[in-house]
Amino acid sequence: MRRLPTCLILDFHDSYTRNILKLVTQTKGWDLEGWEQRIVVVNVDSLSWDSFVNEILPHIDCVILGPGPGTPHRDSDFSWPTRLIAEFGDRLPIFGLCLGLQGLATTFGGKVIKAAAPKHGQISRIRLDRTSTTYLDLFEGVRDEFDAVQYNSLMVDAASLPRDLEVTAWTDSAVAGREPEAMALQHHVKPLYGVQFHPESIASSFGETILSNFFAITLAFQQRQQPASEGSPDLPAHVLELSTAFRPRTGPSSPSDSSSSPSDSSRYKLLHVPLGSAAEWTTRKPSGVPQWSHLCIPQTTLSHQARSRTVLVRTAAEGCDTVNLDDAESFTSWLSNLQTALSSQTSFASADRPSVPVGFVGSIAYEMKDETMPLSKRHPLTVREQSAVELAFAALVLSYDHENGTWSANGLVRTAGRGNPTAEQAPLLLSALGVDEEEWTAWLERVSEILRRAPPGESDFSPAPLPTDFCPDQDRETYISSIESARRSIIAGDAYELCLTTQFRSRLPAGSPLLGDPYPFYLTLRATNPAPYCAYFHLPWSDFTLLSSSPERFIRIDRAGKADMKPIKGTVRRSPEDPVEDERRKRALLADEKERAENLMIVDLIRNDMLASCPVETVEVPGLMLIESYQTVHQMVTTVVGQLGEGVRPFEAMMRAFPPGSMTGAPKLRSLQLLDELEQRQDRGAYSGVFGYLAVDGASDWSVVIRTLVKRGRNLTLGGGGAITHKSVAENEWEEVLTKVDAVLGRTRP
């Protein structure tokens, strides 16, 4: 077996680059043992030219220039790799993907121009040029015609290329219905190669073969240059430490599940008590999955101000305390440390207990992007900053299993054990979290008695009609102008897709009985918009209420570290009265090219996100673009799974993928920067963020906050938006936003 060459993969802040690593594991004829020590993905901005030449270049055999937004004609988009190609292209094999191919062309005087029709997430037929005077060693073993995915608005002008660069593959003009476009380049003399398509996409064919061929080209080049060489050693630690993909690290690991009985050293025990069956006390069974409902009792709340870097801790007994995060500590690491310490102090009595949100429950706002993707533009500090995180610690949870019709009680109970919390977590662990045995027993008896009684014939709450006088931050003309600006950015190559949004606002009357508790609004929302991730989250101490009818999971992680993400792209309303028409709509959705392209864009993005937390071999797509049917709609859904790597904690994994790509667009970082301007630097707040829980045992489940009302004081907000592509018709997109908002509010327009 041949040993892989050492390879630097440069990431130009694209959302797909780490997927190249999946291709590495699929190559044939190579010794893949320890491949992680030979191939590394690094952000281009992590290196200066001098640091590359002095610290990286001596250790690598080849370079892959990844895809990315923008154009190589702009230094801020391509930067020093132009110099790499010019100065080392004769002694270092280089393979460019998409932007990387375009950079090869411009370095030698070629031009990059607008494509006749941008293609993002679309599958093209690629045709090899067998009339080329160059041997097509990059395509050895590849069919003359094959399918591959494109994500580009720009292309190389083949007529502008110098004689040293030759086009080796084209789009199939017979399929495309227009002039063929250059899809691959090769230098006549130097080991320089490039492809315009994305071989790393899950829907591309022959990607692993093409990558394997490039590695073979690299080894052959090395042997010609240094016949006596036995190959390069593994990459040194200082290079591997730059990796943006998962790598094992030292430090706290994900909490292991324990089924042992409580010990003297444990400070807490997590109890799960089945309570038997009883009548279902819900307005409507959730549509789709999951099939659990949970009632949580907030004990302590955590409010995080991202820009002032503080955490406000509130308890009913102790009042308020402010935690100031130091410069080296993020909120993500702070909460992860707290959850890890709490888990280490807890004994878990049952190994087969269900996942329940005994732990931290709440909302992570979109503005936490400033922590997870710090290169996205930050707003200036405002006088009144809203919390970016609103969490409650739920020590007592009553759960209902809709499938079995049974209730269970769950709680974190303090024991006589002393434990060993760290100094930073000691005050919170000692005084604020969990209940004592007497409180647990009293609550369990009270709940059991209530469930033994027949459910009341009438609820204390009646549904209240939702306000209909919501007004958007951006009116029709302004929003349409933003859509056209978004389209121009996409056509210019700065993004593949942009999820443009705006906020709709209303204000409750000063004397409204719903100011204190808007639960009647939630009853209406749940009745008219049943969804798998309905949630009512009310924090009187923070004056924050979230009323959600979200249909979309962001990420679920079980206590063993298995993660799954389930993006929805593509929805059509059902026709329950006409089964034939219903089936026709389902098949039409599955075949819709636009919907499939949008789904593929987010699937490739999510695979890339998961590879920041999961070993490559664990990231799989067990269901690609399948139709799931719910009560009122058919939806195109893809499932991506992975296993958290050693040392990656569940909240860290969630935040590495935050914010949800379905609410940003792709590439994610450039999309965030563009959207900040397009949305006039208005905070999205909870909308476009996530809602869910991080349990004591590490289990977590987070939904995307869409179709959701947020109440602060008298103010109600409802976010609305949609994915903008180069094909978007501005007036239609605006109407779609209004339709989504009207559906949540249950209002009709003339």
Q: Which residues are catalytic?
A: 98, 198, 200
Identify the three-state secondary structure at position 302. strand
Radius of gyration of the chain (CA): 27
Cross-strand pairs, 9: 41, 64
Task: Retrieve residue 489's tokens.
Answer: 């950015």
Burial (CB count <10 Å: 0-12, 13-18, 19+), residue 466: buried
Q: In whole angstroms, give the CA distance from residue 361 to residue 306.
A: 18
- Residue by residue, DSSP assigns 584-602 as HHHHHHHH-HHHHHHHHHH
Task: Retrieve residue 738's tokens.
Answer: 């209004």
250-252-253-256 Cα dihedral, nearest 10 degrees: 140
Residue with tokens 């041997």: 135
Closest by CA position to 688, among listed 487, 498, 476, 506:
498
Residues 6+ apart with CB under 8 A from 227: none
Contact 373, 229 (CB under 8 A): no
Q: How many residues does the chain have?
A: 750
- Separation of CA 497 from chain center: 15
Residues 6+ apart with CB under 8 A from 676: 376, 377, 379
B/e letters for 386-407, b = 16+ CB within 10 Å, e = fewer, are bbbbbbbbbbbbbbbbeeeeeb
Cross-strand pairs, 39: 7
Strand extents, DSSP E, 365-417: 389-401, 406-414
Half-sphere exposure (Cβ direction) of 69: Cα atoms closer than 13 Å: 23
Closest by CA position to 288, among listed 524, 526, 552:
552
Contact 551, 529 (CB under 8 A): no
Q: In whole angstroms, give the CA distance from residue 236 to residue 259.
A: 41
Helices marked H in 12-149: 19-26, 49-51, 75-78, 81-88, 99-107
Q: Return the ∠ at Cα 35 (arms to 85 and 372), rounded to 5°.
A: 75
Residue with tokens 């829980």: 693
Residue with tokens 């063929």: 180
B/e letters for 628-666, b = 16+ CB within 10 Å, e = fewer, are eebeebbbbbbbbbbbbbebbbbbbbbbbbbbbbbbbbb
Residues 6+ apart with CB under 8 A from 32: 4, 24, 25
Q: In whole angstroms, give the CA distance from residue 83 to residue 74.
A: 14
Task: Retrieve residue 304's tokens.
Answer: 């995080």
> H/E element holding 173?
helix 173-176
Burial (CB count <10 Å: 0-12, 13-18, 19+), residue 61: buried
> H/E element holding 637?
strand 633-643
Sign of the CA dihedral with 523 first, then 527, 529, and 533 last: positive
Q: Hey, how many other C-beta atoms are within 10 angstroms of the C-beta on 194?
A: 27
